[in-house]
Structure 1
């Protein structure tokens, strides 16, 4: 993915945003949607599931919970892969705290390392990160290459064309405007980079995702759009995540950008009379031919 972990980015993580209950529910919905397909294929054999870009393990824990709920935890072999060593340490700690007898292994690596690490997996998850990849087709084909026939690939995103609930666009515009205004006032020497356009801002449509799944060798595709109700506090926490800062305020030092987005999100909410802003989440589950 080409994302660079540094001591500074480790101070601006996704974890506080991922801790909000709505985020758990969105991802639990995808996990259940995907593992329902897996249960239909159940032969009693071991089940290998890969959690790509697993981060601090929020989705890994949901997979473990769901397999336990289905009474199949003893069949599970879960492999989490992420480029961040710090995130993986937190992921391992979170799984350990569950106290469940799950076979879980966390591996530091990039998505392109997967074919060397895993073959014939039964399912792969790539949650809340697919929008970060510029070459989505290559990534999907890579996932297909590690899956067994009838293997399941589940991914989701709230960064796609159609993610804005109609009428909420003004919130995002005002949030950005107020953040830029705060920067101009507090740090007049800081300039936004005109050249940088973060991958997270290069959105595609749900139809594009259908085509990418098909071109990657997936047949049946379940696609649903869930709506999450996101509080201003949760938006603030997203605004503390380094990749979001880089997308919203490219070229701005992370500490300044985080503070600007924090101040501005509450200003925007107050001006528009909002305590929360809904957002559409695209949930996709494809089955390999």
Structure 2
């Protein structure tokens, strides 16, 4: 993915957004839907599950919780992989503090390192990050290559064609417009870059995702579209995430972009009389041939 981690990006993380209850619920539903396809455990066979782009381990912990709920705590190999060393440190700490009877191994790596890290995987997850990958078909083929036959893949995104609940588009436009207005007034020296086309803006439709998965060797693809109600505070937290800032306000220094989006989200909410704005998540579960 080539997302460069710096001391500055470590200040503007996805973690505050991921801490909201709606985010946990959306991902818990995907984890349940995915792991419902697991076959009964064979005697002493190791069950290998990988959480790609695991970040600070929010989904890794949900996977462990669901395995405990299913009564599977023995012979589990749970692996979280992420390019960010800082995120992995937090993931390890969070897993230890959870007190769950399943241990997870967290490894630093990009998606293309996966075949060197794990093979013959029973289930793989890639949550809330597929929209950041420029070549989605190649990413799905990569996942398919590490899964055992009949392996299960759970994936979701709230950045796709269909994510905007009808009638909410105006909120996003107004939020950006107010942020740009704040920058012009408070920091006229900061200019938006016309060249920087954010990766996060390359959105696919649900059908394009299904097609890419089928082309990558997944015969059965289940999709669900789930609405999450997100408060203005939740949107504010997303607006503090460096990749979102770069997408919304390309070329603006992160500190200024974060400030602008913080002020503007409440202005937009007030102008539209909104305290929350719903968003549709695309949940996908695919089974390898």
Query: Is the pair's TM-score, using the shorter chain for normalization, greater than 0.5?
Result: yes
Q: CA deviation at 1:75?
A: 3.2
3-state SS in 2 of match to 1:221: strand
Tell me, in whole angstroms, the C-alpha distance in 2 between the residues paired with 1:280 and 1:99.
32
TM (norm. structure 1) is 0.98
Q: CA deviation at 1:41?
A: 5.0
2:42 equivalent in structure 1? 43
3-state SS in 1 of match to 2:162: coil
3-state SS in 1 of match to 2:114: helix
Aligned length: 288
Tell me, in whole angstroms, the C-alpha distance in 2 between the residues paired with 1:214 and 1:138.
12
Any idea what the Cα deviations from partners look like across 1:235-283, whole Å, max 9, x if unmatched? Answer: 0000000000000000100000000000000000000000000000000
Tell me, in whole angstroms, the C-alpha distance in 1 between the residues paired with 2:278 and 2:183.
27
TM (norm. structure 2) is 0.98
Tell me, in whole angstroms, the C-alpha distance in 2 between the residues paired with 1:36 and 1:153.
12
Q: CA deviation at 1:106?
A: 0.2
User: Counterparts of 1:1-289 in structure 2 under 5 Å?
Assistant: 1-38=1-38, 40-44=39-43, 45-289=45-289
3-state SS in 2 of match to 1:33: helix
Q: CA deviation at 1:76?
A: 1.8
Tell me, in whole angstroms, the C-alpha distance in 1 between the residues paired with 2:159 and 2:53.
16
Q: CA deviation at 1:42?
A: 3.6
Tell me, in whole angstroms, the C-alpha distance in 2 between the residues paired with 1:73 and 1:88.
22
Tell me, in whole angstroms, the C-alpha distance in 2 between the residues paired with 1:43 and 1:232.
47
| Further displaced range: 191-200 or 94-103 | 94-103
3-state SS in 2 of match to 1:74: coil
Q: What 5-or-longer segments of structure 2 have no aligned partner?
A: none
Partners of 2:179 and 2:261 within 8 A in 1: yes
| Further displaced range: 17-26 or 75-84 | 75-84
Q: CA deviation at 1:100?
A: 2.2
Partners of 2:140 and 2:213 within 8 A in 1: yes
Tell me, in whole angstroms, the C-alpha distance in 2 between the residues paired with 1:105 and 1:260.
38
Tell me, in whole angstroms, the C-alpha distance in 1 between the residues paired with 2:164 and 2:117.
37
Tell me, in whole angstroms, the C-alpha distance in 2 between the residues paired with 1:16 and 1:268.
21
| Further displaced range: 41-50 or 90-99 | 41-50
3-state SS in 1 of match to 2:56: coil
3-state SS in 2 of match to 1:79: strand
